[in-house]
Amino acid sequence: MTREDLEAIVKLYLRAYKGLEEYAYTHPKDVKAYIKWLLKRDPEGFVLKRDGNRIVAFVAGDANWFSKREWKNVGAIHEIVVDPDYWGKGIGKTLMDRTLNYFLGKGLDLAELWVGDRNERAINFYKRLGFKEKDRYNYWIRMVKKLR
Ligand SMILES: CC(C)(COP(=O)(O)OP(=O)(O)OC[C@H]1O[C@@H](n2cnc3c(N)ncnc32)[C@H](O)[C@@H]1OP(=O)(O)O)[C@@H](O)C(=O)NCCC(=O)NCCS
């Protein structure tokens, strides 16, 4: 990933989280540090989607995550972001399907994610993909999906 890619991802993240700032980093420096953390967690699980030269989405899957709630290794979806101009076109679903298959290939049997309790777009999106609410922490909902 180039320096330009990283800058573009930061901008994409900030744009996609407009109106949902309570669940997101809002300072570009913090977003950049977060993206770097995601990349470090599992470089193979970090996937970009481009339209020509433009980065329009990314997913940060992590096949090395130890879930304290499950007390075992799970596949974590730490982040998924699609450019608002590209919402509703199936890009998010394609990235998620790919990530869940990646987890399966790593021998994992459960996928886990945390979503903000007012982020209805994302909650509905995850439900359509078969995720179910498992429990909550403050204003975060933990959702899981059995992989096999
Ligand atoms: C959530 C998000 C990733 C969805 O990406 P997307 O590319 O628009 O989603 P898709 O087009 O792949 O939609 C996949 C499915 O969810 C459904 N869906 C998408 N948005 C929906 C909505 N607002 N309400 C209900 N269903 C919705 C689609 O109809 C589709 O279902 P189908 O395949 O049965 O037709 C995107 O809206 C986003 O980036 N949001 C901001 C960042 C964010 O909140 N990330 C999640 C953090 S936990």
Q: Which atom number of ligand 1 is nearest to the Cα of residue 113?
A: 48
pTM across the whole model:
0.94
Q: Tell me which residue of 58, 77, 78 sits closest to 13, measured CA to CA.
A: 58
Given ligand 1 and candidates 10, 22, 87, 144, which is best to mutate, with the most ligand atoms within 8 Å of its CB? 87
Mean pLDDT rounded to a whole number for the chain: 97
For range 36-59, the mean pLDDT: 98
CATH number at residue 36: 3.40.630.30
What is the model's pLDDT at position 136? 97
Domain count, the chain: 1
Task: Report the side by side order of strands in the sheet with 110-116.
Answer: 46-51, 54-67, 72-82, 110-116, 140-146, 132-137
CA of 56 from ligand 1 middle (Å) equals: 14
131 contacts 123 by C-beta, under 8 angstroms: no
pLDDT digits (tens, 9 = 90+) for 112-145: 999 999 999 999 999 999 999 999 999 999 999 9
Ligand 1 neighbourhood includes 119 CB (under 6 angstroms): yes
pLDDT digits (tens, 9 = 90+) for 55-106: 999 999 999 999 999 999 999 999 999 999 999 999 999 999 999 999 999 9
Token duo for residue 79 = 């982040």
Neighbour count for residue 130 (Cβ, 10 Å): 14
What is the model's pLDDT at position 1? 85
Token duo for residue 147 = 């992989």
The domain containing residue 130 runs over which residues?
Answer: 3-146
Ligand 1 neighbourhood includes 99 CB (under 6 angstroms): no
